[in-house]
């Protein structure tokens, strides 16, 4: 009788797919198993190696395949939300469409969150990928947002009828890349416990365990050392002014723990180049020109980073950190309109103080339209749209820069 039952079970196991759905906890009892066959799966081919000596299936890692949550062949939930697809008493090699878990493993998914492949994954050596992602080399928008105020200031400092210094723009471009990477490294080191609790950030190298905090510190030291090499090529006034920004760089990541205005502190930090660019060319500051420029950048940052912060507002509430997105709430667009208006007004004041040509003011009209489009059309409940609006600010910076260059060249 036992032999007859074993033969019948073996014939069933030879079918292309076996699925077991637990109707109660008794399915795991060691003395009895209730196995139900699903419809054969035609999209895959399975080769089974049967062990005929097994009277009962052995529940080991080598003899079972688990899939949590969804039945990917029927696209529905089974039982109490668990679907156990298992192949018992045999080892299987599946050819065809891979399981969802396989896809997540290949993409580096953590906690069900997958990260899309980019040029860092495709072209850099495996050992360098974690450091490149720590410096956000795969997401250059932060470098653009740091570099544009520097470029505005360098272009403003050019002599009338002249183009801005290519040497200075090159130095500040490299400096923006390094300082942005250093800032991100500091942020990830300080926020590594918070990042693991937020969907958007849990794949960051330190939070995910790809790099250790000590490796992050070593990489931070290297970035700061290279940044110092660039700073030393500037005049003494600029060296002191540039070094003083490190206080803001190191303190900004902590602000979200204490105030609803971390975006304002980011604005003070990321727009420091509006002061430094002019000083690097002139050897001093002209407050009537650079202070309105600097403050306009702060207001601009409050616009784009508040939109950006709306991506994480639900997670921020759970974790207990603060942002202007939470502070403004349903009145966000009203606040952003005010900050956008202030930014354009301050840019106008800076241009008047620098005696720029009409081309600059024409660019301000175009930039105002871009800023108004961002604020007016932003869907603050959509993470995808908030991200797109945030990234579009590289074009706002480019419009202002082209206006400064044209306004100074044809002055």
What's the CATH code of the domain at 179? 1.10.357.140
pLDDT higher for 381 or 113?
381
Report yes or no on 108 lying in a domain.
no
pLDDT band at residue 117 under the 50/70/90 scheme: confident
pLDDT higher for 41 or 130?
130
With H, G, I as helix, E, B as strand and everything else as coil, classify residue 47.
strand
Report yes or no on 72 lying in a domain.
no
Q: What is the mean pLDDT of residues 37-64?
A: 40
Q: What is the pLDDT at residue 118?
A: 85
pLDDT band at residue 158 under the 50/70/90 scheme: very high
Domain count, the chain: 1
Q: What is the mean pLDDT of residues 271-297?
A: 97
Overall pTM surpassing 0.85 (yes/no): no
Q: What is the pLDDT at residue 193?
A: 87
Task: Write out the residue range of the structural domain in which residue 287 sits.
Answer: 126-410
What confidence tens digit (pLDDT) does each residue in 309-349 have? 999 999 899 889 999 999 999 999 999 999 999 999 999 99
pLDDT at 78 over 80: no
Joined together, the tokens standing for residue 220 give: 């931070």
Joined together, the tokens standing for residue 257 give: 């723990």
Contact indicator for 316, 199 with CB cutoff of 8 Å: no
pLDDT higher for 396 or 53?
396
Report yes or no on 110 lying in a domain.
no
Which residues make Cβ contacts (< 8 Å) with residue 411, sequence separation at least 6?
Answer: 160, 161, 355, 356, 357
Gap between the Cα atoms of 238 and 172, Å rounded: 12
pLDDT band at residue 23 under the 50/70/90 scheme: very low
Q: What is the pLDDT at residue 280?
A: 97
* Number of other CB atoms surrounding residue 138 within 10 Å: 16
Distance between the two ends of the chain, CA-based, in angstroms? 102
What confidence tens digit (pLDDT) does each residue in 166-223 have? 999 999 999 999 999 999 999 999 999 888 888 888 889 999 999 999 999 999 999 9
Q: What is the pLDDT at residue 388?
A: 96
What's 40's DSSP letter? P
Gap between the Cα atoms of 82 and 378, Å rounded: 38
**Most confident stretch, 45-49, 76-80, 106-110, 215-219:** 215-219
Report yes or no on 21 lying in a domain.
no
Contact indicator for 203, 108 with CB cutoff of 8 Å: yes
What's 234's DSSP letter? S
Q: What is the mean pLDDT of residues 155-166?
A: 95
Report yes or no on 3 lying in a domain.
no
Report yes or no on 6 lying in a domain.
no
pLDDT higher for 210 or 104?
210
Q: What is the mean pLDDT of residues 71-88?
A: 36
In this structure, are strands 45-50 and 90-95 parallel, antiparallel, or unpaired?
Answer: antiparallel
* Number of other CB atoms surrounding residue 166 within 10 Å: 9
Please tell me the total number of residues recorded for the chain in this structure: 411
pLDDT at 392 over 70: yes
Q: What is the mean pLDDT of residues 212-239?
A: 96
Report yes or no on 65 lying in a domain.
no
Report yes or no on 42 lying in a domain.
no
Average pLDDT, the chain: 79
Q: What is the pLDDT at residue 24?
A: 41
């Amino acid at each position: 009788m036992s032999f007859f039952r074993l033969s019948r079970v073996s014939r069933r196991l030879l079918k292309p797919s076996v699925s077991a759905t637990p109707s109660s906890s008794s399915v795991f009892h060691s003395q009895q198993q209730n196995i139900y066959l699903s419809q054969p799966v035609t999209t895959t081919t399975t080769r089974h190696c049967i062990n005929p000596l097994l009277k009962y299936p052995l529940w080991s890692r080598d003899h079972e395949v688990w899939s949590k949550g969804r039945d990917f062949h029927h696209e529905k939930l089974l039982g109490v939300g668990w679907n156990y697809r298992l192949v018992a008493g045999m080892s299987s090699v599946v050819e065809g469409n891979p399981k969802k878990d396989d896809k997540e493993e290949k993409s580096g998914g953590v906690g069900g969150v997958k990260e899309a492949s980019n040029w860092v994954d495709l072209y850099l050596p495996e050992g360098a990928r974690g450091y490149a992602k720590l410096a956000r080399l795969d997401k250059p928008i932060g470098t653009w947002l740091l570099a544009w105020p520097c470029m505005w200031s360098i272009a403003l400092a050019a002599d009338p009828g002249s183009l801005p210094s290519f040497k200075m723009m090159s130095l500040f471009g490299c400096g923006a890349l390094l300082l942005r990477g250093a800032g991100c490294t500091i942020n990830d080191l300080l926020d590594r416990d918070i990042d693991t609790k937020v969907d958007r950030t849990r794949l960051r190298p330190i939070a995910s365990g790809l790099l250790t905090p000590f490796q992050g510190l070593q990489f931070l030291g290297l970035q700061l050392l290279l940044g110092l090499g660039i700073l030393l090529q500037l005049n003494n006034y600029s060296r002191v002014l540039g070094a003083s920004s490190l206080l803001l760089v190191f303190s900004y990541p902590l602000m979200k723990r204490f105030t609803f205005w971390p975006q304002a502190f980011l604005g003070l930090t990321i727009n420091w180049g509006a002061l430094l660019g002019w000083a690097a060319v002139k050897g001093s500051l002209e407050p009537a020109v650079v202070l309105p420029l600097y403050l306009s950048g702060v207001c601009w940052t409050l616009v784009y980073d508040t939109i950006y912060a709306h991506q994480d507002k639900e997670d921020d509430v759970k974790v207990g950190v603060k942002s202007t997105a939470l502070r403004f709430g349903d009145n966000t667009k009203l606040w952003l309109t005010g900050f956008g208006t202030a930014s354009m007004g301050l840019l106008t004041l800076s241009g008047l103080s620098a005696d720029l040509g009409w081309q600059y003011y024409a660019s301000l009209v175009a930039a105002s339209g871009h800023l108004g489009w961002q604020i007016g059309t932003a869907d603050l409940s959509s993470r995808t749209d908030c991200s797109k609006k945030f990234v579009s600010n590289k074009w706002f910076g480019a419009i202002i820069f082209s206006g400064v260059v044209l306004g100074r060249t044809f002055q």
